[in-house]
Amino acid sequence: MPSWNLSSSIPIIHTPHDHPPTSVGTPVLPNSNQENDQSNKKRAGSNDELNPIWHCIISGGIGGIIGDSAMHSLDTVKTRQQGAPNVKKYRNMISAYRTIWLEEGVRRGLYGGYMAAMLGSFPSAAIFFGTYEYTKRIMIEDWQINDTITHLSAGFLGDFISSFVYVPSEVLKTRLQLQGRFNNPFFQSGYNYSNLRNAIKTVIKEEGARSLFFGYKATLARDLPFSALQFAFYEKFRQLAFKMEKKDDKGEELSIPNEIITGACAGGLAGIITTPMDVVKTRVQTQQPSTQSNKAYSVLHPHVTNSRPAALSNSISLSLRTVYQSEGVLGFFSGVGPRFVWTSVQSSIMLLLYQMTLRGLGKTLSN
């Protein structure tokens, strides 16, 4: 088993090893085992002079928390569209953004649930990237697994392990995003927490601690394939970008514009594909407990909007069927616009900062 001092896939320092001198006229026979080992290390992107795994953990956490912070407001718009599909003022992404901003403000409106998101953002991203890089090297260097299968599997496993950290924060985040401001006069979600602390206490008291993992299966059904696809696409797009720039992907750096493009394309494409499960996950985590009514409220005042989608069960297949029966195929792609923009931009920010932080750590600690 490789040690945790394995290097990251991002080249920081490239120092070619000099070959030992040989006698003139004496042929040097290649060592097939050594060549295979070097080939596998190239595929894994490892090099003894590069960053160890703990650099990946720190860089991943930094990239994750900054990327999530930058795009949280758009995630709020997506949550409103998915959690309240019958509300006309939230159907268009741009008008929904403007409406929430004007009616509820930035801090409690567009950035509602921000602190809940940050509780899970850094640790879950750190765990994900550490697991992803470590798993990738084992599969390529030790087991000699195909690159595409390796990237899919490493992304899948990384997200599964980090899910134990981010799912509780995701439950709190989505409820606070759907609720908006405290005592919201413009939209009634069924929730009315005064702050994050009150939300945690209320959820545990009224629904039990297990409810912090409500929608866990639906979250995994969304996030496991998302992460697997995102990083499989990302690794492939980076390889293509290096070829376009005519650079060595093991010893040179990709240009910043192409780093941004590859991250955005990978995240956006994976985001669109997994939108149906994102709809189910949001509905399950934000719907009221079974003891309460899940029927849509009537509008009592012209300036107050009340609307709930059909209640979903914990069964993913039944939930998908319910969405289809009540809203048709388009229901599966509710909020796809803001989700595409969010996953594209967040992915590009997170992965760019991940790469840059890795390089910075490598250069700083090598001096």
pLDDT tens, residue by residue, 75-126: 999 999 998 888 889 989 999 999 999 999 999 899 999 999 999 999 999 9
Go through the domains of the chain in sequence order and give each one's CATH number: 50-366 (1.50.40.10)
The string of pLDDT tens digits covering residues 240-284 is 999 999 888 776 889 999 999 999 999 999 999 999 999 999 888
Among 12, 211, 178, smallest CA distance to 79 is for 178
Q: How far apart are CA 225 and CA 270, in angstroms?
A: 8
Which residue type sits at 95?
S
The pLDDT of residue 66 is 97
Which residue type sits at 202?
T
Residue 38 pLDDT class (50, 70, 90 cuts): low
Q: How far apart are CA 145 and CA 307, in angstroms?
A: 49
The pLDDT of residue 199 is 96
The pLDDT of residue 207 is 92
Longest alpha-carbon distance in the chain = 95
pLDDT: which is higher, 38 or 160: 160
Neighbouring CB atoms inside 10 A of 296's CB total 14
Which residue is it, tokens 């001096």?
367
The string of pLDDT tens digits covering residues 133-145 is 999 999 988 898 9
What are the Cα distances from residue 73, in Å, to 23, 77, 239, 272, 307? 67, 7, 32, 19, 21
Instruction: Tell me 305's DSSP state.
Output: E
Contact 9, 132 (CB under 8 A): no
The string of pLDDT tens digits covering residues 316-361 is 888 888 999 988 999 999 999 999 999 999 999 999 999 999 988 8
The string of pLDDT tens digits covering residues 162-219 is 999 999 999 999 999 999 888 888 888 888 999 999 999 999 999 999 999 988 999 9
Residue 288 pLDDT class (50, 70, 90 cuts): low
pLDDT: which is higher, 138 or 8: 138
Residue 28 pLDDT class (50, 70, 90 cuts): very low
Contact 180, 108 (CB under 8 A): yes
Mean pLDDT of 287-306: 45
The pLDDT of residue 315 is 78
State what percent of residues in the chain have pLDDT above 90: 59
Q: How far apart are CA 317 and CA 218, in angstroms?
A: 10
Q: What is the DSSP string of 252-298?
A: SPPPHHHHHHHHHHHHHHHHHHTHHHHHHHHHHHHSPPTTS--SPPP
